[in-house]
Copies of this chain bind each other. A is one copy, B any other.
Amino acid sequence: MNCLSHVRIVLVGTTHPGNIGATARAMKNMGLRDLALVSPKVFPSGEATARASGADDILAGARLCHHLQEAIGDCALVVGASARLRTISWPQLDPRECAQLVSASNAKTAILFGREHSGLTNEELERCHYLLHIPCNPEFSSLNVAAAVQIVAYELFLAAREQASADFAAPALATAEEMESFYGHLERTLHDLRFLHERKAGPSVMRRLRRIFNRSKLEKKEIHLLRGILTAVQMRIRPQT
């Protein structure tokens, strides 16, 4: 069930050792183990250990780095948490989107959390493939760094759990190609029915039908059932035309 071994949490320039300890606890609570600390002000520290509250193994295993590059050099995906919606237009994720992206891949991934008062620098953010923004009250938007890690780790845990159960139990979903064949079959049937002709609104009707079935995320077997119905309609109306 632990599908999160490829995920590293990177704290950059943390000032308060209590936040490092609270981060370790939040990580272990959610099944994360890989912590890197870039230039923390104080580490190791009794306060970090106290706030880790049993997650000392995460602290003991943390890698201490002088430069960000040491912490992310082996990562194929780098995501940077950012409170501000920066003027630089960078691809953004919220925690749930980030968790889905990360849990769907096995690529070594670093998620960066910046300094308590100033976050990540623009230079650090430019090393990231995505910015991660936690939705919150716009009038009081500065989250504690360990609280931010807690939310992201929680979403990662949920996504990994879902991924694990999907790997075992999920019925096979239709591929994009199978969906296109289905929509083609549906459109021909509606033409045979003269349903599209009559309304002179073929593209719009088909678009609306695609929305309905795309939302439903059809399984392969369901596509067979629906196409069986379409074939039955075609068989019954063709003799007339």
Chain A interfacial positions (CB closer than 8 Å to B) = 22, 25-26, 28-31, 51, 53-55, 134-137, 140-144, 146-147, 150-151, 154, 157-158, 161, 190, 193-195, 205, 208-209, 211-213, 215-218, 221-222, 225-226, 228-229, 232-233, 236-237, 239-240
- Contact (Cβ within 8 A) B232 A147: no
Can you list 26 residue pairs at the A/B interface with Cβ under 8 Å? A22-B147, A25-B144, A26-B143, A26-B144, A26-B147, A28-B140, A29-B137, A29-B140, A30-B136, A31-B137, A53-B142, A53-B144, A55-B140, A135-B154, A135-B157, A136-B154, A147-B150, A195-B232, A209-B225, A211-B222, A212-B213, A212-B216, A215-B216, A215-B217, A233-B233, A240-B240
Chain B CB within 10 Å, residue with most, of A135, A140, A190, A194: A140
Q: Which 9 A-B pairs have the closest CB atoms?
A: A216-B216, A31-B137, A147-B150, A195-B232, A215-B216, A28-B140, A236-B237, A29-B136, A193-B232
Q: How far is the CA of A208 from the CA of B221 in the complex (A)?
A: 10
Chain B CB within 10 Å, residue with most, of A143, A147, A161, A217: A147
Inter-chain contacts of A194 with B (CB < 8 A): 232, 236
Copies of this chain present: 2
Inter-chain contacts of A31 with B (CB < 8 A): 136-137
Inter-chain contacts of A222 with B (CB < 8 A): 208, 211-212
A54 and B142 in contact (CB under 8 A), knowing A147-B29, A158-B135, A233-B193? yes
Inter-chain contacts of A213 with B (CB < 8 A): 212, 216
Q: How far is the CA of A212 from the CA of B144 in the complex (A)?
A: 43
Name 4 extra pairs, CB < 8 A, besides A26-B143, A31-B137, A193-B233: A22-B144, A25-B143, A136-B157, A137-B157
- Contact (Cβ within 8 A) A193 B229: yes
Inter-chain contacts of A208 with B (CB < 8 A): 221-222, 225
Q: How far is the CA of A213 from the CA of B151 in the complex (A)?
A: 33
Inter-chain contacts of A237 with B (CB < 8 A): 233, 236-237
Q: How far is the CA of A60 from the CA of B205 in the complex (A)?
A: 57
- Contact (Cβ within 8 A) A28 B137: yes
Inter-chain contacts of A25 with B (CB < 8 A): 143-144, 147
